[in-house]
Amino acid sequence: MSLAGILAACGGNDADSSTEEAQNGGDEGDTPSDVVETGDVDQGVEASGDEDVVLDMWIHQTGEDETDFYIERIDAFNEANDHIHVNAEIIIDDGGSSYSDAVNASLVAGNLPDVLALDGPYVASFAEADILMAVDDYLSDEDRSDFVDSILEQGSYNGELYSLGAMEASVPLYYNKDIFEEEGIEAPETLEDAWTWDEFMEVAQELTTEDRYGLNMFMNYGVGEWLTFMGAPFVWSNNGDIISEDGTTSEGYLNGPETLEALEYVKSLFEEGVVDLTPGEMQFEEGNAAMALGGPWIAVSAEDADLNWGMMPYPYSEQMKSPSGSMAYGVTTSSEHPDEAFELMHWMTNEESVEGLSEVTGMPPARISAFESMDKYQELPWSIMREQVIETAHARPQTPAYPVLTDAFAQAFHAAALGEDIQPVLDQQVQRVERELQRFND
């Protein structure tokens, strides 16, 4: 089965990681050409031949610090396991979808690696295509209970677990402390004090002036995964969903009354002029927006800009929900050494790896034990992100039709931002999703 169509949406503008998750790969039938071999290989130490098992692993390239961390962890795994040696390939990021192309080409050629990095929302596509093997039997109950629920949710398909992530993601409501102090506005500091939609709108309007927007939603990221990642919680918070729980239909969900009401609210934010449809890249960091719905990477850029900033919980309608999901690892069905491959997958997601990756990237950890051991998550502002990841995080739907579903929602969200009549757009997008779902429902 060719995954060219299924995986096409995996690349491009994906805001699930601390850097752009654009991915890269190589030529059909060969090892991907644009790769950096790592593990001990990168340092000139080849497998000695005494190892019982040699594993291949693919990792997408991100920022230099994050990539170096992956290399260090793989090197440490090789040193700790005399009977296993990992040959890892860091596939170079070219800003496109080449990582997906590499997976597709290697699938056709029959040379997939033993362990594969993949974007969490696409686990179902890989599982449905029989690329990933279920790992439930390998994971102990104690270990399973240490992962935050959203990591297990994003890694599961049809009741089986296929992937584990080392880091999570979230979208808090950032705010400019100086502006809030000037305007006499008190920011909520716990989930219990989170703003409702009405309260959020009122404050956003109050903070909007001729020279400043009340809110930045980073619409400059484009019409892509960001709009689903950041925007779908408006629907979930309104007791809605964008696909049925059993994944068989989007009719009555993506175009249902809860989704319509949520996008009408989003539409009103733009109609009231509190959000800029075309913000500058550093609008929030430069003080030209008082608040921002952004990922963990905004904390890094705000800190670099010397901004006096804080975090608040994601605003809600009927129930508190927040974005989640990031890169994960899976064992491929083509691996001849699944036991050892899971050992590697587990190593890359154990507490030491999870904690170290969080320190390097600023992304929240995937394990509860890491949250408990890291001091920064015990106090503001990062306690907000801890609370969201543990208590309100909601994974995007696991369906093999996800590439079409997420584009359909993003198109509808963008239509709302443009002030269009939303119901006809939703109805049209549902037709697209239903056609795609037929492929998997038959």
**Which tens digits make up the pLDDT trace of 337-389?**
999 999 999 999 999 999 999 999 999 999 999 999 999 999 999 999 999 99
Tell me the chain's radius of gyration from C-alpha atoms: 22
Tell me, yes or no, whether 276 and 257 share the same domain. yes
Specify the pLDDT at position 100: 67
Specify the pLDDT at position 274: 98
The secondary structure of residue 392, as a DSSP letter, is I
pLDDT at 34 over 70: no
Amino acid at 223: V
Tell me, yes or no, whether 290 and 183 share the same domain. yes
pLDDT at 27 over 90: no
Tell me, yes or no, whether 298 and 340 share the same domain. no
Tell me, yes or no, whether 9 and 105 share the same domain. yes
pLDDT at 198 over 80: yes
Tell me, yes or no, whether 108 and 158 share the same domain. yes
Specify the pLDDT at position 94: 55
| 406, 9 Cβ separation under 8 angstroms | yes
Tell me, yes or no, whether 158 and 177 share the same domain. no
Q: How many domains does the chain have?
A: 2
For residue 269, give the nearest of 230, 322, 306 by alpha carbon.
230
What is the distance between the alpha carbons of residues 345 and 339, in angstroms, rounded to a whole number?
Answer: 10
Tell how far CA 340 is from the center of its chain: 27
| Last residue within a domain, chosen from 375, 392, 409 | 392
Tell me, yes or no, whether 416 and 285 share the same domain. yes
**Confidence band, pLDDT 50/70/90 cuts, at residue 418:** very high
> Could you tell me the CATH number of the domain that includes residue 411?
3.40.190.10
Tell me, yes or no, whether 227 and 89 share the same domain. no
| Last residue within a domain, chosen from 392, 418, 433 | 392
pLDDT at 269 over 80: yes
| 58, 114 Cβ separation under 8 angstroms | no
Structure tokens at 17: 């990681």
Tell me, yes or no, whether 249 and 274 share the same domain. yes
Q: How many CB atoms lie within 10 A of CB 34?
A: 18
**Phi/psi-derived region of residue 303, left when phi > 0, alpha when psi is between -120 and 50, beta in every other case:** alpha
Domain that holds residue 229: 173-322+401-441
Tell me, yes or no, whether 118 and 145 share the same domain. yes
Please state, for a pLDDT cut of 90, what percent of the chain lies above it.
81
Give the dihedral of Cα atoms 62, 148, 243, 163; nearest 10 deg: 60
Tell me, yes or no, whether 67 and 165 share the same domain. yes
For residue 320, give the nearest of 420, 230, 429, 239 by alpha carbon.
239
Beta strands in 237-334 (DSSP E): 289-293, 309-312, 327-331
Tell me, yes or no, whether 299 and 196 share the same domain. yes
